[in-house]
Amino acid sequence: MSRAKQMAEEQAVPATAAGARLQQMRRRVRLTRLSVWAVMAAGPVALAVAVASPATVVRAAPATKPATVKTAVPGNPSGYASVFLTAWLRSRAGDERSAQARLAQSMAPGVDLPEVSAAQPGPEAVVAVRSAQQAGQAWSVTLAAQYGDGAVCYFAVPVLADRAGASFTVSAAPAVVASPSRIEGPPSPYTVTVPANGDLPSDVGEFLAAYLTGAGEVDRYLAPGVRLAPVSPAPYKTVTVDQLLAADEAAAAASVPTDGTRVGVMVQAEARDADGRWPLAYELTLTARSGRWEVSALQSGTAQGGGTR
C-alpha cells in the first residue's frame, strides 16, 4: 500500500468517528425539541381535563380519642324515705287534711295512713341506717324511728327511683323489721399503757385544754404544717386526761425520743361544763420534736396537712 493511500485511510477514520458523534448529537437535539413540543401540545389538554375532573380532597383522619362513657349514678333515696316515714308516723287516718298526712300521701299516693289515736306520740327523730338498691330502680331503705321514751322501732321503706335518680316515690307501706345486728369490732391497736406522769400525757392534756376550753393557743401544740382550729365557742370549762393508751412502745418511754418519732394514742378524757361531766375519746398521732410531743393528726379528720418538716 502506498504511503499516500495509508495516510488517506488514517485521516478518514477520525473523520468518520467525528461524523457519527455529530449525528448522535443532532438526533438528541431533534428528540428534545419533539419532547418540548409534545409537552406544550399536551399542556392545554391536560389543563382542560384537570378542570373538568372533580377535585380529589384528601382529609386527614381525625386523631383517635378514648371514648367517654357517662354512666348515670342513681341517687340514694334515704333522705326521701326519711321524710316520708316521719310524716307517715305523725299522721293518722281520718285526718287526711293535716299537713303531715298531705305530705305522706303526696310522696306515696297508694299507701294508707295508720289508724292510731290522737294520744299516740309521733317519733322525735327518724334516721336512715341502711339503704340497698335492688332490681332496676327499686330500693329498700331501713330507718330507725326514735320516740321520746327511748323506744326505737325500725322500718323498711320500699322506694322507686327514676333512671336519673332525681325523682322518687314510695311504692308500698312501710314494714316493721328487726334492728340491725351488732358486730364485734376488731381488737384495739392501743395496748400500751402510758404512765400518767410522763411528758406525753402532759402535752396531750394541754392540747385538749386549748382545743376544747380555749385555754391557750392550739397552734403551739401542733407539728409544723398542721392546721387545726379550736372548737368555738369553747364548749367546756375544764378537760382532764383519765387514761392514755398507745399503739407504740415509744409513747411510754421515760423521755421524749429522737425527733421524727411518731406514735398513735387513744385518749380517754373527762370534760366538764356547767351542766355536768362528759366522757370523751380522741385518737391522736403525735410526733417528737425538740424534746416535746406535737400533734400531727387528729383522727376526727379536722387536722389537715402535716407532720414534721
Per-residue confidence (pLDDT) for residue 50, from 0 to 100: 41
Long-range pairs for 91-95 at CB < 8 Å and ≥24 separation? 92/116, 92/117, 92/118, 92/120
What whole-number distance in Å separates Cα of residue 115 and Cα of residue 117?
7
91, 93, 98, 104: CA torsion to nearest 10: 60
Per-residue pLDDT, 198: 87
Spatial separation of the C-alpha atoms in residues 141 and 126, rounded to whole Å: 12
> Distance between CA 159 and CA 127 in Å, rounded?
16
Query: Which residue bears the cell 378537760?
Result: 239
pLDDT tens, per residue, the chain with 309 residues: 555 455 545 454 444 445 556 566 666 656 555 554 454 555 554 434 444 444 444 455 555 555 544 445 567 899 999 999 999 999 989 888 899 999 999 999 989 999 887 777 889 999 999 999 988 889 999 999 999 999 999 999 999 998 887 899 999 999 999 999 988 889 999 999 999 988 999 999 999 999 999 998 999 999 999 999 999 999 999 999 999 999 999 999 989 999 999 999 999 999 999 999 999 999 999 999 999 999 999 986 454 443 332
| Predicted pLDDT of residue 306 | 39
> Which pLDDT does position 42 carry in this prediction?
54
Q: Which three cell numbers stand for residue 163?
A: 333512671
Q: How many residues are present in the chain?
A: 309
Segment (H or E) for 7? helix 3-52
Domains along the sequence of the chain with CATH: 78-177 (3.10.450.540), 192-298 (3.10.450.540)
Residue 169 sits at φ, ψ, to 5 deg, of -155, 145
Residue pair 96/105 in contact (Cβ under 8 Å)? The answer is yes
pLDDT at 158: 96
Instruction: State the pLDDT at residue 122.
Output: 87
